[in-house]
Amino acid sequence: MSDLRLGDVIDDYCVKCRRLTNHAIVSLMNHEPAKVRCRTCYHEHDYRHEEAPPKKDPRKEALFKEVLSTIAPGAGEEEKQPEPKKAKARAKKIAN
Ligand SMILES: [Zn+2]
């Protein structure tokens, strides 16, 4: 590995500038940049290894699915559906 130091300027993808810009290393981990700061807009972020982020954040998507499954679990859907119908039918009969 190259001998990187805090403050060294390296290329990385900046989400604010939406392009590769010069970044100063602000945090090192295992001799690799952990956090960098864009020299153009001064936005600080995790080092991305010069990669543009995917349009959808897989972590957010996974979290969203997890939240969805707790709100409406797939197994519970079949059970839930007939119930309101029965309840409505009963309500109509009572109303009539
Ligand atoms: Zn920037």
Domain edges within the chain: 1-53, 57-96
Tell me, in angstroms, the distance from the centre of ligand 1 to residue 58's CA: 23
Tell me, in angstroms, the distance from the centre of ligand 1 to residue 33's CA: 16
Tell me, in angstroms, the distance from the centre of ligand 1 to residue 14's CA: 5
Which residues of the chain carry a pLDDT beneath 70? 1-2, 56-57, 73-96
Tell me, in angstroms, the distance from the centre of ligand 1 to residue 26's CA: 14
Q: What is the pLDDT of residues 1-26, one digit of tens each?
A: 568 999 999 999 999 999 999 999 99
Q: What is the pLDDT, as a whole number, of residue 8?
A: 96
Q: For tokens 């309500």, name the residue.
A: 91
Contact predicate 16/42, CB 8 Å: no
Q: What is the pLDDT, as a whole number, of residue 46?
A: 95
